Structure 1
Amino acid sequence: MSQVTVHDATLRDGQHAVQHQLDVPQLRAYAMAASAAGVPVVEVGHGNGLGASSRQIGHARLDDTTMLETVRQALTAGTSRMGVFMVPGWGTGADIRQAADCGADVVRIAAHCTEANVMRRHLGIVRELGLEAQAVLLMSHMTSAERLAEECRRAAEYGAQVVGIMDSAGHYLPADVTERIRAIAAAVDVPVIFHGHNNLSMAVANSIAAVEAGARVIDACARGFGAGAGNTSLEVLVAVLHRSGHETGIDLPALLRAADIAHEHLMAGPPVIDSVALASGLAGVFSGFKPRVLAAARAAGVDPLEVFAELGRRQVVAGQEDLIDEVVRDLKVAS
């Protein structure tokens, strides 16, 4: 069986569930526990990555430097690397250099699924700094397996040492994942990433399908911590990988203790697949839109499920939150 590297996004993607408000004690407590469990990569930051704290998508409680320095100091077991995430346009080359100064080991550059070209300069900066350069394609359900493979091939040419896809809307079924990961793995000579969301209750199943299709880096969050229906559950994923014979290097009992810390100290409760989360997954819309959709729909007296359906028809992506209000107005007029 294969060796799988588990990339823990609890302290970055999980931030969406709490409007990016994790504080220093919370970051420190979870990072120490994840490190003690031997988690290979612990990612930290604003939910949308380096430089993303803003009025449009939410101000984080802490600045990037404070978050990174806190986690760097908390990875005391010496087995975990620190990861960061950046979307060009929200983050800059200066943000990457600052992250390097704070001790980041892995820098993941993200772009919309058909726009790997925007990663080129930033991947180059990461390589110049001697850090591990990763590239991920967002909202990957919005294009074909063939196009994803081509975009990942380009990212590898630009310097990415690991490439892959995010099921940003929790839209995939296992067969969808198998088709895409196989195509990507056949197109590149570097490890392949899969990042799942749980809107259709498929995140763990999709992640296992990804491993069986050739992915070697799988993302997850403790208790599935994340926006809407949440992410792949870290502790469940690792348990299933171990039962399936895949090696992760993670101490499962220690990981369960880390998950308990996340449950008790980071979140009000684990993510739930409610009607809105399910609707967003079916529509192929980013789960992070949920709070704003609910607020706007409630204020206008329209059905949030219809809002998500229309956002899906318009193929709205993260960063286009202003279109939520436009859709709500249009639905209000139509009613």
Structure 2
Amino acid sequence: MTTGDGSARDLRLVDTTLRDGSHAMAHQFTEANVRDTVRALDTAGISLIEVTHGDGLGGSTFNYGFSLVDERVLIKAAAEEARNATIAVLLLPGLGTVTDLRAAADLGAGAVRIATHCTEADVSTQHFTEARKLGLETVGFLMLSHMSEPGALAKQARIMVDAGCQCVYVVDSAGALILEEAGDRIAALVAEVGDTAQVGYHGHQNLSFGVANSVLAYRAGARQIDGSLVALGAGAGNSPTEVLAATFDRLGIRTGVDADVLMDACENIVKPYITRLPVMDRSSIVQGYAGVYSSFLLHAERAAERYQVPAHEILYRVGANKYVGGQEDMIIDIALQLAAEREGSTSFR
């Protein structure tokens, strides 16, 4: 494996600030935010930069939240700023379409990360086929990977790889995996796909294991690891790219990335535009504990404020009901149920 400048590397760090970070920003990135961040990441040596609405192509909707700026404008801007890095887009089958994918490729995207629930890889096959026809680098995301045991998850990975996926990810969307739980899933995928594809890991900080899990993922065979600057992402945020770069450097694992340049970007570019710093507060910790999709946090907080019920209680019930991405509207039902229960309890007293 080599970096963009031709030097060898052991691990590819991928940055998702401008996609997963969109959740924390309520999808309000400006074109200037994207241009400045891409330039900095590119300078630091990040070779794959993800840019879209938090829920991927076509995600700017009432259900998921509207973007401030059309994602096509942001993808084009990112592609114009990247000198060495490839711009990636996220696509959720059933939300983003093949037409959206073609448009993103025309705007300069060179990679697509196709995401499904961890048991539904079969819905991605046509999208991988089209992506390969377009000459795009292909990545598969098995979201909420904690909901599937290692062996079953590996079988889903095989479906994606057979469809044309070049790197398949264990995606800890809830930040629920703890140490060996992450490593064992990576090892199962590596054993299944062998040399036919790489394996990656995407972690969240809800239980504070994102970076530790990433190290164990590398040791189990993962060769692509996701992060976001200043941990900007859904829930308590993602594994911080700058911390990953420094950690792997300390471990003697070559990434081809300059951690000091990333830290400069955090302080001088990203922090000034962040409207909400990721934090391990009660609600985000509950997400990790209960296995709740990290992007549900803002939806739960809005419902909590509207119906005057605690956000963490909403999230506990979301976890108990095992809701998955795309069921954000069900959060309102839970909030209404909690409000009715509270009103009934008050009336009884």
Q: TM-score range by the shorter chain?
A: over 0.9
Counterpart check, 1:145 vs 2:150: yes
How far apart are residue 102 of structure 1 and its match? 1.0
> Which residue in 1 is equivalent to 2:233?
226
Q: Report the Cα distance in structure 2 between the residues aligned to 1:242 and 1:31, rounded to whole angstroms.
A: 22
How far apart are residue 269 of structure 1 and its match? 5.2
SS at match of 2:139: strand
Matched ranges for 1:77-116 at <5 A:
78-116=83-121
SS at match of 1:219: strand
| C-alpha contact (below 8 Å) 2:230/2:271 kept by paired residues | no
AA aligned to 2:341 is A
> Which residue in 1 is equivalent to 2:179?
174
Match of 1:239 among 242, 246, 259: 246
Q: Report the Cα distance in structure 1 between the residues aligned to 2:286 and 2:334, rounded to whole angstroms.
A: 16
Counterpart check, 1:36 vs 2:43: yes
Deviation string 1:93-151 (CA, Å, 9 cap, x unpaired) is 01111111111111111100000000000000000011111111111111111111000
List gaps (5 residues or longer) in structure 2.
1-7, 343-349
Match of 1:21 among 28, 46, 61: 28
Deviation string 1:234-265 (CA, Å, 9 cap, x unpaired) is 00011001111111111222122122234333
> Which residue in 1 is equivalent to 2:345?
none
Q: Report the Cα distance in structure 2 between the residues aligned to 1:297 and 1:19, rounded to whole angstroms.
A: 17
Match of 1:257 among 240, 248, 264: 264
Q: Report the Cα distance in structure 1 between the residues aligned to 2:163 and 2:133, rounded to whole angstroms.
A: 12
Q: Report the Cα distance in structure 1 between the residues aligned to 2:267 and 2:145, rounded to whole angstroms.
A: 31
Match of 1:277 among 268, 277, 284: 284
Q: Report the Cα distance in structure 1 between the residues aligned to 2:88 and 2:294, rounded to whole angstroms.
A: 22
Between the two proteins, the alignment pairs up a number of residues equal to 333
How far apart are residue 211 of structure 1 and its match? 0.4
| C-alpha contact (below 8 Å) 2:9/2:256 kept by paired residues | no
Deviation string 1:161-204 (CA, Å, 9 cap, x unpaired) is 11112100110111100110000000003110100000001110
TM-score (norm 2): 0.92
Match of 2:310 among 303, 310, 313: 303
> Which residue in 2 is equivalent to 1:184?
189
> Which residue in 2 is equivalent to 1:134?
139
Runs of 4+ with >6 A deviation:
none
List gaps (5 residues or longer) in structure 1.
none
Shift in CA distance, 328/194, structure 1 to aligned 2, threshold 3 Å: same
User: What percentage of residue pairs aligned between the two structures are identical?
Assistant: 38
Q: Report the Cα distance in structure 2 between the residues aligned to 1:87 and 1:142, rounded to whole angstroms.
A: 18
Match of 2:123 among 91, 114, 118: 118
| C-alpha contact (below 8 Å) 1:263/1:270 kept by paired residues | no
SS at match of 1:22: coil
| C-alpha contact (below 8 Å) 2:25/2:276 kept by paired residues | no
Counterpart check, 1:65 vs 2:72: yes
SS at match of 1:218: strand
Deviation string 1:15-59 (CA, Å, 9 cap, x unpaired) is 101111100111111111111111111110101111111111011
> Which residue in 2 is equivalent to 1:162?
167
| C-alpha contact (below 8 Å) 1:29/1:261 kept by paired residues | no
Q: Which moved more, 1:184-193 or 1:260-269?
A: 260-269
Match of 1:208 among 215, 221, 225: 215
| C-alpha contact (below 8 Å) 1:136/1:164 kept by paired residues | yes
Deviation string 1:286-328 (CA, Å, 9 cap, x unpaired) is 1222222122223333232221111101001121111111112
| C-alpha contact (below 8 Å) 2:245/2:258 kept by paired residues | no
SS at match of 2:17: strand
SS at match of 1:228: coil
Counterpart check, 1:55 vs 2:62: yes
| C-alpha contact (below 8 Å) 1:30/1:261 kept by paired residues | no
Q: Report the Cα distance in structure 2 between the residues aligned to 1:201 and 1:31, rounded to whole angstroms.
A: 26
Q: Report the Cα distance in structure 1 between the residues aligned to 2:118 and 2:312, rounded to whole angstroms.
A: 25
